[in-house]
């Protein structure tokens, strides 16, 4: 790998559910296939190894090519983890590296992006929603949820975008932090007269909150339940794009010297 090519550190939240880490690693493997030769590590904030310090240490030990690292938060919205947790952990980890100087560029979170919209539509199509059925299908766009108003604004914008994209109706739902819940959104659409209702989870990987979304869809009688975005090709391409965008920044947003 050329010394001038920064490494990529993908930072995921982590979960006790083993499906979460497996899905993240499958997604990162797809990224590696898109960019052969790029040094890539995956780290988790909680529950799963390696931790951010461990993964950063691996990259720093890999040689001169990892003297600069792009840290990419595997998050759909810019909320607490993106604004506070991840920058703090990266700063502390980079400062603690013994005898090395590693510059860390912090990439943008994944959303919003047309590639995520395309991945959502891919998952709905895989679940059985044909393009010709859009106008007769109401969709519940179900997110994990956040109390951060910036995250809520992004999701509301995505819902508005979908309402103008040919779907019969679109309602937001949340698995935590705010309402309505998935089952409430499905029941409201049913009460409004919609005969066909699909639930599109706006989540990256299986886990506790995605399971809550799925349970709400089943309990309320939704006709279609799509899978999590996971390692969809569009998501992998978006990770590559966020990596490349970070390289265009005038200077690293995080920098530390041992």
Q: What is the pLDDT of residues 61-77, one digit of tens each?
A: 876 446 789 999 999 98
Q: Please indicate, yes or no, if residue 160 is contained in any of the structural domains.
A: yes
Q: Clarify whether residues 159 and 251 are in a common domain.
A: no
Give 112's contacts (C-beta < 8 A, 6+ positions apart).
Answer: 154, 157, 158
- Position 257 scores a pLDDT of 31
Take residue 130 and report the two structure tokens written for it.
């044909």
Question: Once rounded to an integer, what is the mean pLDDT over residues 168-193?
Answer: 95
| pLDDT surpassing 70 at residue 203 | yes
Angle at 202 between CA 189 and CA 190, to 5 degrees: 10
Q: Please count the structural domains in the chain.
A: 2
Domain that holds residue 249: 7-110+233-257
Q: Please indicate, yes or no, if residue 238 is contained in any of the structural domains.
A: yes
Take residue 203 and report the two structure tokens written for it.
């989540």
For CA atoms 180, 151, 214, 168, the dihedral sign is: positive
| pLDDT surpassing 90 at residue 107 | yes
Per-residue confidence band for 163, with pLDDT thresholds at 50, 70 and 90: confident
Q: Clarify whether residues 221 and 237 are in a common domain.
A: no
DSSP state of 3: T
Question: Once rounded to an integer, what is the mean pLDDT over residues 173-197?
Answer: 95
Closest CA to 37 of 14, 13, 61, 66: 66
Question: Once rounded to an integer, what is the mean pLDDT over residues 158-179?
Answer: 91
| pLDDT surpassing 50 at residue 1 | no
């Amino acid at each position: 790998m050329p010394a001038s090519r920064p490494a990529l550190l993908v930072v995921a939240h982590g979960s006790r559910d083993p499906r979460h880490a497996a899905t993240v690693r499958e997604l990162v493997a797809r990224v590696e296939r898109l960019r052969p030769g790029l040094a890539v590590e995956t780290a988790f904030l909680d529950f799963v190894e390696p931790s951010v310090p461990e993964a950063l240490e691996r990259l720093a030990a890999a040689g001169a090519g990892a003297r600069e690292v792009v840290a990419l938060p595997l998050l759909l919205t810019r909320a607490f983890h993106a604004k506070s947790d991840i920058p703090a952990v990266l700063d502390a980890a980079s400062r603690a590296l013994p005898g090395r100087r590693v510059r860390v560029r912090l990439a943008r979170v994944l959303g919003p992006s047309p590639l995520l919209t395309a991945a959502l539509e891919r998952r709905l199509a895989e679940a059985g929603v044909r393009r010709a059925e859009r106008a007769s299908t109401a969709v519940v766009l179900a997110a994990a949820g956040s109390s951060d108003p910036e995250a809520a604004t992004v999701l509301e914008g995505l819902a508005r975008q979908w309402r103008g994209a040919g779907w019969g109706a679109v309602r937001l739902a949340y698995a935590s932090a705010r309402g309505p819940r998935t089952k409430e959104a499905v029941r409201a659409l049913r009460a409004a007269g919609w005969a066909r209702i699909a639930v599109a989870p706006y989540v990256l990987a299986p886990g506790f909150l995605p399971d809550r979304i799925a349970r709400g869809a089943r309990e309320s009688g939704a006709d279609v339940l799509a899978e999590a975005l996971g390692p969809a090709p569009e998501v992998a391409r978006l990770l590559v794009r966020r990596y490349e965008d970070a390289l265009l920044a005038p200077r690293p947003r995080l920098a530390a010297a041992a």
